[in-house]
Amino acid sequence: MTDQQYRIGIGYDIHKLVEGRNLVLGGVRVPFEKGLEGHSDADVLVHAIIDALLGALAMDDIGTLFPDTDDRFKDADSLILLKKVYDKVQAQGYWINNIDTNIIAQEPKLMEYIPQMKAILAPHLGLEQMDISIKAKTKEHLDAVGSKLAIEAQAIVLLERIGS
């Protein structure tokens, strides 16, 4: 690992919408008739943040660290996985300066849940809510997300060396 003062990472995730699952985004259970299919709770926002953190330090991705072939991660709470990854980031000598994210979903409308998502994510990452940006976007009825078949998320993180 180099001794760089700043590191930037980008993360992305997409999961299919299915019946019979809870919809969890940013650690918040969002009322909706469908949820996201996945081995864990399929929280695309948290998964994108995890991959952004790992990418910033050129570490393995979420699928390598928490494979869907491992029963220990079946229906896992993604916030627990996030905490494990952030512990790795801190062990490398970095802390999060800020996070910028997008959740892309045609439905449900998510704006009212964003403050709760920030409130849940901030303490898991040692941040103030003002250091986390979560924006809700649609796909204007284009592609699988626009056809209400999936939800995706993007995240960018800026890491700063501890003590900088």
Q: Is residue 46 part of a domain?
A: yes
Q: pLDDT for 48-98, tens place per residue? A: 999 999 999 999 998 888 877 877 877 789 999 999 999 999 999 999 999
**What does the block give as tokens for 158?**
């800026």
Tokens of 17: 């919408």
Other beta carbons within 10 Å of 17: 23
Residue 1 belongs to some domain of the structure: no
Task: Scan for tokens 């809510």, then name that residue.
Answer: 129
Domain that holds residue 114: 6-161
Does any domain span residue 20?
A: yes
CA–CA separation, 106 and 111 (whole Å): 12
Number of domains in the chain: 1
Stated pTM of the model? 0.95
The reply to whether 60 falls in a domain is: yes
Summarised one tens digit per residue, pLDDT across range 138-159 is 999 999 999 999 999 999 999 9
Q: Residue 39: give its domain's CATH number.
A: 3.30.1330.50
